[in-house]
Amino acid sequence: MHARSEFIIYVDESGTPMRRKIDPSFPIFSLQLLVIAKTDYAEFVAGPLVNFKLKYHQTDSVILRGSAMRRREGQFEFLNDPLKANPYLAELTELIGRIPMRLYSAFWLHDEAMVLSGLGIIDPYAHFLKRLLAVVSNEITDGSKAKTSCRVLVESRHDSDAKMLQAFDLYRASLDNSGVHFEIEMVKKEVNILGLQLVDLVALPVAHSCLNPEITGRDWLAIRDKVVCRLDLTEEIQFFLDESMLG
């Protein structure tokens, strides 16, 4: 039985999904990991985000979705009014900037990622998750030899969940050797998990920074110092293609 880690991890993707046409203005597929101590989550995420929702939405049932905010639709239609949007977005950005979290990103810049997915050579989500968790494991153990168990929450993609988990299980042995046992939990989108909403809000600016390190938007500036790594794994695409040819 592993001891419980003091950290919890939330995961989200950004960029062109694997089964859709590449967006030439945003030619990237990326995965972001948000790592935070459970005590910090309770103090800086749970209470403040619930209070924020109650202040602006009069309920904590609303799910904060970056895409819905950008489209100004549904529960975020009021953001079409600049007098309401400006204080809302400014306070949310300031709130996020105060959270003591660490962000890890991995990405591919090429549309060759579509080729890999189409050929069934690799599950990019599982591969990125493995690479990032290998980095995270070294940092959350702090050199300790004690085995720990760390929960990783991922938003469910329903019909693709089983495939991703099966692919990830192939990597689990190498990760367990790191001293951390990562427990993957697939969570439905409609479940109101604040950590998943938080990583959703920061995923896009992190992905944009991978394409353009010089960006200066306020949503990026609020989290810039929290980004631990941005792994460009684009060159690995050719390796996987070559391996498939040998097979």
How many Å apart are CA 11 and CA 88, to the nearest integer?
A: 25
How many Å apart are CA 97 and CA 247, to the nearest integer?
A: 48
pLDDT the model gives residue 88: 98
Give the tens place of pLDDT for each residue, 144-191: 667 888 999 998 877 777 877 877 777 676 666 667 888 999 998 889
For 42, how many CA atoms within 13 A lie in the half-sphere containing its CB?
5
Residue 102 in tokens:
């660490």
- Determine if the pTM surpasses 0.85: yes
Tell me how many degrees the CA angle 170-121-175 measures, rounded to the nearest 5.
25
Tell me: pLDDT of 46 over 70. yes
Considering the chain, what percentage of its residues have pLDDT values greater than 90?
Answer: 51
Phi, psi of 39 (to 5 degrees): -65, -40
Tell me: pLDDT of 95 over 80. yes
99-109 burial code (b ≥16 CB/10 A, e <16):
bebbbbbbbbb
Strands (E), 19-79: 29-37
How many Å apart are CA 110 and CA 209, to the nearest integer?
A: 16
Cα dist. 64→7, 37, 179, 189 in Å?
Answer: 23, 21, 34, 11
How many Å apart are CA 18 and CA 33, to the nearest integer?
A: 18
3 state DSSP class of 13: strand
The answer to whether 36 and 7 have CB atoms below 8 angstroms apart is yes
Q: Residue ranges of the alpha helices (H) in 98-149?
A: 112-119, 124-140
pLDDT greater at residue 46 or residue 139: 46
